[in-house]
Structure 1
């Protein structure tokens, strides 16, 4: 991505009334972030699809000055900027409609093609929650997942420190700019996390840790991962918001059950009761549910098999060919690559599943079923 395009995308994230969903639509319509501002400045009829108020905001010179200043700070601090169309933007997150159009990252881990698991829970962690969290991570460490959390007190920090101790990479998603750490006592862990994972945020440098920012942050934790695990939670709290978001994204959600009446198990028990989360007893259950295979490996590979292509329609053949060539794919990716509507692809995949040709995977992925 060119510097001018990146600065234009920075500007776009600063425009009042233009959120992630609108920003994506504008980029798709005009063919790029810079093109949006070129059209807005020219007064071209092509900009007629933008509301007058938003058009005025797009032309605000102050936003350009702020974007240029921000870009200077980003360069000085060695922060990576990931646009949602970039190859190193997290694939699962890209498929969330309200995902950030731009992420800021400091760290050592590659975000593309990785297996992410989010672990969240109460700040008031009990000994039971601490012990389960560490034992769970010990059990799944052989699969080498990247552990995602929010660096908050309690379960979040426990999961991230346990990941570091086990040699796993971990991503801390922040509700503020990367020029600070909140809560402040956790700043001492930032260097270690950057060296064995990274710090991730959608917020500009200088953004303070306001309460609403953490609600926005939670959708990144939920969308980044193929599964979200809630270890402990009261009947209200940020971890339940994250679980609801993950459920809404059609991701796998797991909750650790607790005794009836235990205050910090109420949220987990309620998620299970509402069938928003699977019961999680331990790492073995989790690995089976996620269809994880050999240590360090990906999903179980499909063996070569003969598929009678002539019995399928042209559209079904396109899907089969794509999955046979590229391996597991997201529903949205199949739709884009095969140039078919998402609803049509879903129906075709269901037919192919019933025929024993494809099988569904977590996070709305599909692959050719092993012979």
Structure 2
């Protein structure tokens, strides 16, 4: 991503009244983020979701001026920035409608691990909970899984520390900007995580660890992962929020049962009772239920013998190069309106060339 593109994406952080879903829709309908900034107000009003009231609130020039102030800091601190259309953006998170436009990262971040798991739980971890986490991490080390958590007290930091000890990639998702570490006592562990993994946030540098930020960041933890494991939890708390978000994203959720009289087993027992999580007693249960013990069959490639027009061929080439893509991503790369891309995709589906997936995502059918 060029410095100019980064400024354009940063600009959306300073536009009042535009939520994540609306922003993505406006960018796609404009045929790309550059086009969005060059549209007149009349043209903006013609876009779906851009009411007169919203258009009056959008101050694009002022937003870009504010974005400019952050560019030097991001470059100076050597932070990685991922926009939602980039192939480097966490691919599982891309499937979530409320995934952030931008993510800021620090460390050696790789979001393309075949298996990624969230481990979450109470800040008041017991010896029982810590034992469960260690058993999981030992197993994960054999299969080179990536572990995501929130760098919080208790289960989170215990999982991160064990990953560092066992040489596993681990990512801490923060509820504040990357100019600080919260809690500060975890700064040393955060630094050790940089070698293989690192830190990730949607919040701009300078954002404080305010209470309301943490439930928001939990959706990133849930969305980045194939599965979420709740180790210990009270009847209420952030780990339950993460579990419910993972449910909403159609991701698998697992929980360890515990003593019904223990306060930090009540959350896990509740998830299991309400059938919001699968009961597991060990890593073996997780691997069995996720079908991870079996090796995947070799993919069979069938050649295409279709006469495609230029627009169809462009989409086929993109899907061949980038694999699965959303209609918004295709529109961005092709610099075409979503309606035009949608028509071409429909033609390709009729020809049996493209397969549609939930969430308006597409891949080659062969």
Structure 1 residues 304 and 33, CA gap change in structure 2 (3 angstroms): closer
User: Aligned partners of 1:179 and 1:139: how far apart in 2?
Assistant: 34
Aligned partners of 1:223 and 1:249 also within 8 Å = yes
- 1:316 maps to which residue? none
- 1:315 maps to which residue? none
User: Aligned partners of 1:128 and 1:84: how far apart in 2?
Assistant: 39
- 1:296 maps to which residue? none
User: Aligned partners of 1:367 and 1:55: how far apart in 2?
Assistant: 37
**Structure 2 residue 43 is the aligned partner of structure 1 residue 45:** yes
Structure 1 residues 172 and 303, CA gap change in structure 2 (3 angstroms): closer
1:142-291 → structure 2 map (5 Å cutoff) = 142-291=142-291
Q: How many residues align?
A: 325
- 1:28 maps to which residue? 28
User: Aligned partners of 2:129 and 2:238: how far apart in 1?
Assistant: 16
Q: CA deviation at 1:290?
A: 1.6
Aligned partners of 1:9 and 1:34 also within 8 Å = no
Render the CA deviation track for 1:44-93: whole Å, top value 9, x for unaligned.
43443322343233325432221001111101111111011111111110
Structure 1 residues 330 and 5, CA gap change in structure 2 (3 angstroms): closer
Aligned partners of 2:37 and 2:60 also within 8 Å = no
- 1:302 maps to which residue? 297
- 1:118 maps to which residue? 118
What is the DSSP-based 3-state SS (H/G/I as helix, E as strand, rest coil) of the residue aligned with 1:172? strand
Structure 1 residues 207 and 303, CA gap change in structure 2 (3 angstroms): closer
Report the more deviating stretch, 267-276 or 61-70.
61-70
Which ranges of structure 2 fall in alignment gaps of 5 or more residues?
Answer: 303-315, 331-341, 356-360
Aligned partners of 1:37 and 1:59 also within 8 Å = no
Q: CA deviation at 1:305?
A: 7.4
Aligned partners of 2:116 and 2:146 also within 8 Å = yes
User: Aligned partners of 2:160 and 2:362: how far apart in 1?
Assistant: 27
- 1:311 maps to which residue? none
What is the DSSP-based 3-state SS (H/G/I as helix, E as strand, rest coil) of the residue aligned with 2:98? coil
Aligned partners of 1:89 and 1:112 also within 8 Å = no
Which ranges of structure 1 fall in alignment gaps of 5 or more residues?
Answer: 294-298, 308-321, 350-363
User: Aligned partners of 1:45 and 1:62: how far apart in 2?
Assistant: 19
- 2:88 maps to which residue? 88
Compute the RMSD of aligned alpha carbons: 3.2
Structure 1 residues 306 and 88, CA gap change in structure 2 (3 angstroms): closer
Aligned partners of 2:151 and 2:157 also within 8 Å = yes
Render the CA deviation track for 1:6-63: whole Å, top value 9, x for unaligned.
2111011221111211111011111222322211xx3343443322343233325432
What is the DSSP-based 3-state SS (H/G/I as helix, E as strand, rest coil) of the residue aligned with 2:215? helix
Structure 1 residues 366 and 12, CA gap change in structure 2 (3 angstroms): closer
Aligned partners of 1:4 and 1:34 also within 8 Å = no
Structure 1 residues 129 and 13, CA gap change in structure 2 (3 angstroms): same
- 1:11 maps to which residue? 11
Report the more deviating stretch, 61-70 or 121-130.
61-70
User: Aligned partners of 2:123 and 2:54: how far apart in 1?
Assistant: 40
So what's the TM-score if we normalise by structure 2? 0.81
User: Aligned partners of 2:257 and 2:282: how far apart in 1?
Assistant: 11
Aligned partners of 1:12 and 1:33 also within 8 Å = no
User: Aligned partners of 1:205 and 1:74: how far apart in 2?
Assistant: 8
Structure 1 residues 366 and 52, CA gap change in structure 2 (3 angstroms): closer
So what's the TM-score if we normalise by structure 1? 0.80
Q: CA deviation at 1:115?
A: 2.2
User: Aligned partners of 2:179 and 2:247: how far apart in 1?
Assistant: 31
User: Aligned partners of 1:272 and 1:253: how far apart in 2?
Assistant: 10
Structure scoring higher RCO (CA < 8 A, sep ≥ 6) equals 2
User: Aligned partners of 1:141 and 1:108: how far apart in 2?
Assistant: 18
User: Aligned partners of 1:180 and 1:240: how far apart in 2?
Assistant: 26
- 1:355 maps to which residue? none
Q: CA deviation at 1:198?
A: 1.0
- 1:354 maps to which residue? none
Aligned partners of 2:113 and 2:146 also within 8 Å = no
